Amino acid sequence: MGLKIAIGGKGGVGKTTVCAVWAQLFAEDGFDVLAIDADPNTNLALAFGVPIKESPEPLIKMKELIAERTGASKDTLGAYFKLNPNVSDLPEKYWLKIEGTEGNPVKLLVLGGITEAGAGCACPEGAFLKGLLTHTILQRQEVVLVDLAAGVEFMGRASIQGIDALVIVVEPGARSIDTAKNIARMGRELGIKHVAAIANKITKVEHVGTIDSQLAEAEVPILTNIEYSETIQQADLQQVSVFQACGELVKQLRGAKRGLMDLVASSDNEAAGG
Ligand SMILES: Nc1ncnc2c1ncn2[C@@H]1O[C@H](COP(=O)(O)OP(=O)(O)O)[C@@H](O)[C@H]1O
Ligand SMILES: [Mg+2]
């Protein structure tokens, strides 16, 4: 089974950017990779350099498919639906293959998320999303990277139980740090074994210390510190693949990925008594 990684954090901190680059790096290393966009505001395809008009429609918007799989019809909506819809055939049907490395193409699955306030969600869409995430996390062989919705709410509405590692992106700012701590706590409550952070958009070295000490309190190790870079911003503006356009970022995230693998390996050794 490939490693299952979820990427969280406040909105705009760089989750999607990290997810796209890591997906390509795992592919480059020869892994079979499945990248999942689980943010209601779907834009992972863009970070891979897929033009907007070619971006796949999020599965959460496919009303008929959801109705078919959950057994919910328009008139019974909310009244009766399957809590465990069969979705195991859907990744193959709907993923988009992203080339860009010498390895296998990254398989991108655009799920989307539920945006309605308070959507916990006892609705067919909620069951469908949860079913797909659970399937990909627990049953797929690929390395799976999940680009999560911003904030902490996703924890209630979709299951990320079974994830091996939760990586939280944080930028210099109290709100982002606070969100990171809350996500870390909830992740641990859900039983996620490895929780780590990436500090992004650093403009002043002193900020690294602040983030460091705050996250140390929450026992969240920082895998790398990434500076604010115009190249990264430009890649977004010009709708090109960050992996291809931002060499320096790729280098840093390669190091961060190694750090995460070490973290995972070291505690697995502990568990084995070694
Ligand atoms: N280190 C960085 N320097 C400059 N811009 C960045 C950096 N990291 C991300 N960005 C830009 O910030 C914006 C938000 O990043 P994104 O990855 O979409 O965040 P999130 O998925 O957390 O909302 C994008 O325009 C992205 O290009
Ligand atoms: Mg995003």
254 alpha carbon – ligand 1 mean position (Å):
17
Tell me which ligand sits closest to the C-alpha of residue 37: 2
43 alpha carbon – ligand 2 mean position (Å):
6
Any atom of ligand 1 within 6 Å of the Cβ of 236 = yes
The predicted-structure confidence for 149-196, as pLDDT tens digits, reads as follows 998 776 555 567 789 999 999 999 999 999 999 999 999 988 899 999
pLDDT at 118 over 50: no
Any atom of ligand 1 within 6 Å of the Cβ of 234 = no
Phi, psi of 170 (to 5 degrees): -135, 145
pLDDT at 270 over 90: no
> How many CA atoms lie less than 13 Å away from 192 in the CB half-sphere?
28
Q: Residue 26: how many CB atoms within 10 A of its CB?
A: 26
Report which of residues 236 and 122 the model is more confident about: 236
Any atom of ligand 1 within 6 Å of the Cβ of 231 = no
Residue of 7, 15, 16, 17 with the most ligand 1 atoms within 8 Å of its CB, for mutation: 17
Residue of 171, 236, 241, 248 with the most ligand 1 atoms within 8 Å of its CB, for mutation: 236
Nearest CA to ligand 1 atom 19: 14
pLDDT at 273 over 80: no
The predicted-structure confidence for 44-59, as pLDDT tens digits, reads as follows 999 999 999 999 999 9
Q: What share of the chain is helix, strand, coil (3-state, %, to 5)?
A: 45, 15, 40
Any atom of ligand 1 within 6 Å of the Cβ of 17 = yes
pLDDT at 67 over 90: yes
pLDDT at 274 over 80: no
Tell me which ligand sits closest to the C-alpha of residue 172: 1
pLDDT category of residue 120 using cuts at 50, 70 and 90: low
Average pLDDT over residues 68-81: 75
Asked whether the beta carbons of 12 and 176 are under 8 A apart, the reply is no
Residue 210 structure tokens: 């602040």
201 alpha carbon – ligand 1 mean position (Å):
8
- 226: helix, coil or strand? strand
Looking at residue 159, its pLDDT comes to 64
Any atom of ligand 1 within 6 Å of the Cβ of 210 = no
* Predicted TM-score (pTM) of this structure: 0.95
Nearest CA to ligand 1 atom 13: 12
> Which strands make up the sheet holding 4-8, listed edge to edge?
96-98, 106-110, 33-37, 143-147, 4-8, 165-170, 194-202, 222-227
- 185: helix, coil or strand? helix
Q: Cα(128)–Cα(274) distance, rounded to whole angstroms?
A: 41
Tell me which ligand sits closest to the C-alpha of residue 180: 1
Tell me which ligand sits closest to the C-alpha of residue 18: 1
Any atom of ligand 1 within 6 Å of the Cβ of 134 = no
Looking at residue 81, its pLDDT comes to 87
Radius of gyration of the CA atoms of the chain, in A: 18
Any atom of ligand 1 within 6 Å of the Cβ of 200 = yes
Average pLDDT over residues 227-234: 98
Say how many residues make up the chain: 274
Residue 19, preceding bond cis, omega within 30 degrees?
A: no
Phi, psi of 48 (to 5 degrees): -85, -5
